[in-house]
Chain A
Amino acid sequence: MDLDPGRVALRRLNRAEYDNTVRDLLGTGLRPAQGFAVDPAALGFDNNGDVQAVGAIQLEHYENAAQALADEVLAGGAARLAQVARVPACDPAREGRACVARLVSGFARRAWRRPPAADEIGRVMAVADGEQRRGGDGLAQLRLAVAVVLTSPHFLFRAEPDPRPGAVRALDDHEVASRLSYLIYASMPDDPLFAAADAGKLRTPAEVRAQAARMLADPRGAAFVASFAGQWLELAGLEDHDVDPALFGRSFDRALATAMKSETLGLFAEFVRGDRPAQELLSAPSMVADARLAQHYGAPAGAPPRRGLLTHASVLTATSAANGTNPVARGQWVLSRLFCAPPPPPPPDIPDLPDATPTGKTLRDRLEAHRTNPVCAACHRLFDPIGLGLENYDAIGRWRAMDAGEVIDASGELIDGTRFAGPAELIAALARDPRLSACVAEQLFIYALGRAPAAAPADAANLARLQAGAGGAAAGVRSLISTLVESDVFRMRRGEP
């Protein structure tokens, strides 16, 4: 360890993680977190410990959910709990307290994702004993103990103790297992990962890397793609994206939005699976499996083949307004999402773009007029050409040659002087920008660690090392993940001074 691994703030389970965890822990069909308060997000992701607070309301939600889950699992009797806890069954009516303690201990072990300490189990058993004193039978004691385990801070939070302030320490096996499983499954460790942690195998980078590869190939690894890529590309709310029915009629609905999102997440999943360079996300040929989406795309004359994220209807729709494209928003999306280089915000009280109808001018004319103001031009030169170069794709991502009766002029010049005649050349130029690969690494860093790489002094170096270690500009997406999880920032932590 030569670089400071930095601190990861205490994280509590977000709504998706809570529901996934109780699903994997209990096999329940209940999804209690759907009624919880909204997850606060920071730096674009909803798993950021720094902004997660727990008020009384939230705690009561947890408590109610725990009671309901405990009722459900104990409806199957002590035998069901034994199954869930992965311990041999016993009968609390016959075997008494020893049986209760064994089941509780086994259950806490899985729920807390680590072996519980004897005093920790002692405190849960004290609650069960109280139930016995009130006249509760073995099942009632178990029911209450399960509720306690599920309301425990050890369940709700992923604590990584800092015994020595300011000191760096290696995470223990179970802490690494939790980091891995919540990164890739957005849930608790599965049995093989748990077994590896129990066996003390997660202290070597190679084993951590191997587990990550195994988990990414598991069907549950889809959670990583949906959560990470979905949030990174700002597609999380695409099903609720607003499209003007007066202009687009039945061309857009939730089913199509789902198909659009699947195309993009599918591409990202393919990049993970095949360890393809992130840089190619802008040039990968589109392979549309969904009939509805294929029909949506059609095969219009003069349209170049769809290649890369910027021809995906998901991205093109998410960056559009309800009633039309928004080249400014598209350009800004490319800069901030794909290149991690968000343009500065506009100065206050800037004039709005005039309406299209009275002047008869095209959007391009109007944006050009806007750029005659040097204050505006300073930033709009950065993103307007990108957005205008994508104007052949309408607000729901369909190809079009004309807009408002005029042939679309999608030519332009990027800030570095590169000229392009239309979207295909534009995208080809953007695909060469090395910031794309670096940006994927940065977003992954934020998602996995919950902090901006600028937050800790050594993080710029940590991030550079991540990228270099994964193969530089040609780094494959899975290599980025593997390099991250085997690195010090992921396997170690610095205690808070």
Chain B
Amino acid sequence: MTGRFGRRRILGGAAVAMALPPFASLMGRRVYAQAQAARKRVVTIFAPNGMYLPQWPKTTGPLPMTPLTAPLEPIKSKVIVTNLANAAAEPPGGAGDHACGAGAAFSCVPPAKADGAGIRAGITVDQVAAAHLKQFTRVASVQLGILQGKQACAEAGYGCLYSNTLSWAGDKQPLAPVMNPAAVFDQLFAGFDPTESDAARQARQARRTSVLDYVREEAALLARKLGRSDAAKLEQVVTSVREIEKRLQPPPGAGAGNKCAVGARPGDAGTDYNAKARLVNDLIVAAFQCDVTRVVSNHIAPPFPDVSYRFLGVSPGHHAASHYKGNAGKEEAYKKTCLWHMEIFADLCRKLDAVREDAGTLLDGTFIVQSSDVGDSNGHSHHDTTVVVAGGPPFKGGRSIAYPRGTPVASLFLSVLQAAGVPATKFGSDGTTPLAALTG
């Protein structure tokens, strides 16, 4: 198991407060200070197969409490619930709504109807954010997953990959989720052993730098010998090395660490995915508190084919239950699974809101968007994709908003990027203007 890797270099076991070496970019003290003054973060969450629409708010006004929105109660003043259109999620030809919808969910670019060599989607909103926010942190972004889907899930010509992937760093660069939270923990908090001497840490960093320098050079040399698309793979390696290397730079004034609570190293929750999802939320909170990364995506489950939610005590698979029209048993099951998606969303919000940061809480500086592959799960519509957003100013929470039909979800992503300080002016195929109403 991964637990055996680098254990001596990380802390496991009980929660502890530790001094982390502050990270600073090469940009100098001014930007560094600015970054520390107002940390902004982005989280994207993929909750498959839409939401139970009969309990989803549809009007503009104070956020109504329904059984489905009830979990939001404790943090509702920081939450906006809405429906928006994702035109790119609509498969031309009419079949493949789940895979196409998943491929477009956070990119708002129509994915190519292909498998293997032809796969192509767009850069996702979390990765646009990461491209900017990575200058402030050691880790650019983290991709997490809760329930792993089947590997045979191609749908109507759309490759399985679309359904199993949330984050894309580029149109040909899907970033697979890591399903093992302990492995993510090790990675995020590796190298922060407070008992390690300065000399030992410097020696370790020198070794890491020399390995990475080697990989960068070797990948670039190898790329020259390969065809175009093979070389592109090696160029991804070169880019990734640069990203990691940048984080190894000794920060200005090294030694003056910031304190943060790294939680316990997550254990193996087995098939208790409810427990796992909450452990993953703890991990996200710890990563933000320690400012190790500012961008996280969480792929709760793929939409299709069926994923079992038996850990909630429901029998039909999630996809089967989502086609509940005229079937009371499925409807009950679907209600439960949608409610659970909202509970896990709310769990993350509450945990972030419980941690003070500057004059507010971690949640105030975090913009969390949960979206899906479809809107109405019975008919696979894409004009009414259910979206829930949490975060602090400039967003004005505590509301549900009914936008004119056809208002693109890409506009909301653009608003999120701008709120997070990312200098974006457009997003996806149709995100050209931010959604003004979000900020009141």
Contact = CB atoms under 8 A, between A and B. Distances in A.
Interface stretch (A153-161, A260-268, A404-412, A468-476): A153-161
**Residue among A55, A123, A147, A345 having the largest count of chain B Cβ atoms under 10 Å:** A55
A416 interface: no
B119 interface: yes
Nearest to A126: B214
A41 B5 contact: no
B203 A134 contact: yes
Given A9-B229, A162-B227, A231 B151 contact: yes
Contact of B241 (A59, A61, A240): A59
Contacts, number: 264
B152 interface: yes
Interface stretch (B35-43, B159-167, B417-425): B159-167
B214 A450 contact: no
A78 to B, nearest CB: 18
Contacts of A93: none
Contacts of A65: 5
Given A148-B214, A153-B237, A161-B225, A38 B164 contact: yes
B218 A38 contact: no
Nearest to B7: A68
Interface residues of A, number: 89
Nearest to B208: A63
B306 A56 contact: no
A196 interface: no
Interface in B309-331: 310, 315-317, 320, 323, 325-330
Interface stretch (A29-37, A173-181, A282-290, A385-393): A29-37
A40 B145 CA distance: 13
A131 interface: yes
A53 B5 contact: no
B272 interface: no
A64 B228 contact: no
B287 interface: no
Interface residues of B, number: 93
A162 B225 contact: yes
Contacts of B330: 352
A4 interface: no
A344 B96 CA distance: 11
A130 B226 contact: no
A106 B102 CA distance: 47
Given A237-B151, A355-B328, 20 more contacts: A9-B230, A10-B234, A34-B2, A35-B1, A35-B178, A35-B180, A35-B186, A36-B178, A37-B178, A40-B161, A44-B151, A53-B172, A123-B217, A131-B210, A159-B222, A162-B227, A322-B308, A322-B317, A352-B326, A354-B327
Interface of A: 7, 9-10, 12, 30-32, 34-46, 48-61, 63-68, 120, 123-124, 126-127, 130-131, 134, 144, 147-148, 151-154, 157, 159, 161-163, 165, 231, 234, 236-237, 240, 242, 244, 246, 321-323, 344-349, 351-352, 354-355, 450-452, 455, 495-497
Interface of B: 1-2, 4-6, 94-97, 115-117, 119, 139-143, 145, 148, 150-152, 154-157, 159-161, 164-165, 169, 172-180, 182-183, 186-187, 190, 203, 206-208, 210-215, 217-219, 222, 225-230, 233-234, 236-237, 240-241, 243-244, 271, 306, 308, 310, 315-317, 320, 323, 325-330, 378-380
* Closest 4 pairs between A and B when the two form their complex, measured CB to CB: A496-B227, A35-B2, A35-B183, A242-B308
21 contacts: A10-B234, A35-B180, A38-B164, A40-B174, A43-B116, A46-B151, A53-B173, A53-B233, A54-B240, A56-B240, A58-B176, A61-B183, A63-B244, A131-B207, A153-B215, A157-B233, A162-B227, A237-B151, A322-B317, A351-B325, A352-B325
